[in-house]
């Protein structure tokens, strides 16, 4: 049935749903656990909005469908698109380049061609469905050309872009053979949002140097009179939702069960990450292994749970990382474990929100030590579940979250001795000290949740450009 044209459209590489098969074989869609959909669902409902994205399978065309009050518009990707646009340019070129070249970015012209081709497909679909004067919000590094392409097709639209990952220092960004095209792609937006002020400044400086436009503070002045604003909007989580979930009797019982299964140690340390080389897993595991080997913590007293969620498994650097971590965990457990006493519980799997909440509740020390991270929402989720003000957060200085979570045990993850020292401090901290810190962390996270993020961005986007005197209430 034809639907009215939406006046609010989200474009992201992925649709906010996962396909699941029920026990009786029925195929269903389930809302993904991510925070973005939680924030945008109410806005989508209010405006009869649509979400354009890929549904996660290659070579499959699906019709638009409705799910949980949202209109979802699937974009098909061929197997070649998946290899060249998603695994290639997005995740083997841009991802490592934007994360300070922790892995070496690969530059291939065919991947770039696929990136252009697929970005155009997303832009065309949005141009086709959006109502006159609609607000379109483009998400993340996979779709940086969409703002410009969309503006060329539909100058009437109000276009926002948000980058969820870091934007690299100008010296690194210059490596990209298509640096100018991407900057121009982003300049198609009225408002370009970043996680950190430094990222927005990197962008402005590059636009001045590489594209030659006039800039002043956070504004770019284009020759046609249009202006583009580049600012920071640190993303957050559905803090109250997480807290509520973690207070349920089921989650609390499960948390107790988790501790019990570890032999009720005094201290449980926890890491939860996508299995990604940006997350600093080897450094963290090595530091913990050394604490045990040095006799600074006792195996009976302390256990480490590391969850690594499978991610981008066909991309080379991810395959290598998986083997490395398997080897490292095996070596550490083999060297310092005893019968019935495995120091690191390593699980390569993904878990539903309830189980994550139970793990957060079971953990005394949360260890979040990425080498580079746009924000890191795991750190914020942990805090949201600590309603009793207990628990400590060890957090990398190189996670965007460190700018807000100043009372965490902040650490440079490259410095293994420093990491050991901070982990030890967090393990041995008094109840008074941890609760003093946690109170402050909780104030920050509970007051700055994902609704606020979406509201701030959309309010600024409305103010930035009002082509038809229409405003979209966030
Ligand atoms: C990061 C990116 C997202 C991406 C997610 C999962 O958070 O910023 O855009 O969706 O990782 O990665 P995947 O490649 O599975 O979509």
Counting ligand 1 atoms within 8 A of each CB, the residue from 137, 311, 313 with the most, and so the one to mutate, is 311
Q: Is the pLDDT of residue 107 over 90?
A: yes
Separation CA 56–CA 38 (nearest Å)? 19
Complex confidence, ipTM:
0.98
Pocket lining: 87 vs ligand 1, CB cutoff 6 Å: no
Pocket lining: 312 vs ligand 1, CB cutoff 6 Å: yes
With CA atoms as reference, report the closest residue to 190 among 149, 152, 220.
220
Residue nearest to atom 12 of ligand 1 (CA): 311
Pocket lining: 71 vs ligand 1, CB cutoff 6 Å: no
Pocket lining: 422 vs ligand 1, CB cutoff 6 Å: no
Pocket lining: 140 vs ligand 1, CB cutoff 6 Å: yes
Q: Compute the distance from residue 421 Cα to the ligand 1 centre, in Å.
A: 32
Pocket lining: 158 vs ligand 1, CB cutoff 6 Å: no
Chain mean position to CA 42? 20
Counting ligand 1 atoms within 8 A of each CB, the residue from 12, 13, 85, 377 with the most, and so the one to mutate, is 13
- Burial code (b: 16+ CB inside 10 Å, e: under 16) for 103-135 equals bebeeeeebbebbbebbebbbebbbebbbebbb
pLDDT tier for residue 44 given thresholds of 50, 70 and 90: confident
Q: Compute the distance from residue 258 Cα to the ligand 1 centre, in Å.
A: 28
Sign of CA dihedral 271, 275, 276, 281: positive
Q: What percent of the chain has pLDDT over 90?
A: 90
Question: Do the beta carbons of residue 432 and residue 97 sit within 8 Å?
Answer: no
pTM exceeds 0.80: yes
Q: Which atom of ligand 1 is nearest to the CA of 141?
A: 9
pLDDT mean across residues, the chain: 95
Which pLDDT score, from 0 to 100, does residue 2 have? 43
Separation CA 442–CA 366 (nearest Å)? 14
Which pLDDT score, from 0 to 100, does residue 418 have? 98
Q: Is the pLDDT of residue 465 over 90?
A: no
Pocket lining: 164 vs ligand 1, CB cutoff 6 Å: yes
Tell me: the pLDDT tens digits for 129-152?
999 999 999 999 999 999 999 999
Question: Do the beta carbons of residue 138 and residue 69 sit within 8 Å?
Answer: no
Residue nearest to atom 8 of ligand 1 (CA): 164
Separation CA 99–CA 239 (nearest Å)? 26
Residue nearest to atom 10 of ligand 1 (CA): 14
- The size of the chain, in residues, is 474
**How confident is the model over 91-119, as a mean pLDDT?**
98
């Amino acid at each position: 049935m034809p639907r009215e044209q939406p006046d609010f459209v989200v474009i992201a590489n992925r649709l906010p749903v996962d396909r699941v098969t029920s026990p009786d074989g029925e195929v269903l869609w389930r809302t993904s656990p991510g925070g973005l959909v939680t924030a945008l669902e109410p806005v989508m409902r209010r405006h009869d909005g649509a979400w354009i994205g890929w549904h996660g399978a290659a070579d499959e065309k699906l019709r638009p469908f409705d799910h949980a009050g949202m209109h979802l518009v699937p974009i098909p990707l061929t197997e070649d698109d998946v290899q060249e646009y998603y695994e290639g340019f997005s995740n083997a070129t841009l991802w490592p380049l934007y994360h300070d070249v922790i892995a070496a970015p690969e530059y291939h012209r065919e991947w770039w061609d696929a990136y252009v081709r697929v970005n155009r497909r997303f832009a065309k679909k949005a141009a086709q469905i959006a109502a006159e004067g609609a607000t379109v919000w483009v998400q993340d590094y996979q779709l940086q050309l969409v703002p410009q392409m969309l503006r060329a097709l539909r100058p009437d639209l109000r276009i926002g872009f948000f980058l969820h990952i870091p934007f690299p220092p100008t010296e690194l960004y210059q490596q990209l053979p298509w640096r100018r095209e991407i900057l121009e792609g982003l300049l198609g937006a009225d408002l370009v949002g970043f996680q950190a002020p430094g990222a927005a400044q990197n962008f402005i400086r590059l636009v001045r140097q590489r594209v030659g436009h006039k800039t002043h503070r956070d504004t770019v002045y284009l020759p046609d009179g249009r202006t583009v604003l580049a600012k920071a909007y640190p993303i957050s989580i559905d803090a109250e939702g997480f807290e509520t979930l973690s207070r349920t009797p089921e989650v609390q019982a499960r948390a107790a069960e988790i501790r019990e299964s570890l032999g009720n140690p005094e201290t449980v340390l926890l890491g939860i990450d996508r299995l990604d080389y940006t997350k600093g897993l080897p450094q963290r595991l090595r530091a913990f292994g050394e604490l045990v080997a040095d006799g600074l913590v006792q195996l009976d007293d302390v256990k480490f749970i590391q969850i690594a969620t499978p991610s981008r498994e066909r991309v080379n650097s991810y395959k290598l990382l998986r083997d490395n971590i398997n080897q490292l965990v095996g070596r550490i457990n083999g060297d310092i474990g005893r019968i019935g006493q495995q120091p690191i519980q390593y699980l390569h799997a993904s878990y539903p929100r309830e189980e994550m909440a139970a793990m957060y509740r079971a953990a005394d020390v949360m260890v979040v030590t990425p080498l580079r991270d746009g924000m890191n929402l795991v750190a914020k989720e942990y805090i949201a579940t600590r309603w009793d003000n207990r628990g400590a957060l060890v957090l990398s200085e190189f996670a965007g979250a460190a700018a807000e979570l100043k009372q965490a045990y902040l650490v440079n993850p490259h410095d293994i001795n420093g990491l050991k020292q901070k982990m030890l401090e967090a393990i041995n901290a008094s109840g008074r000290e941890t609760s003093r810190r946690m109170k402050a962390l909780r104030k920050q996270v509970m007051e700055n949740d994902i609704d606020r993020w979406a509201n701030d961005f959309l309010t600024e986007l409305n103010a930035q450009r009002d082509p038809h005197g229409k405003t979209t209430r966030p």
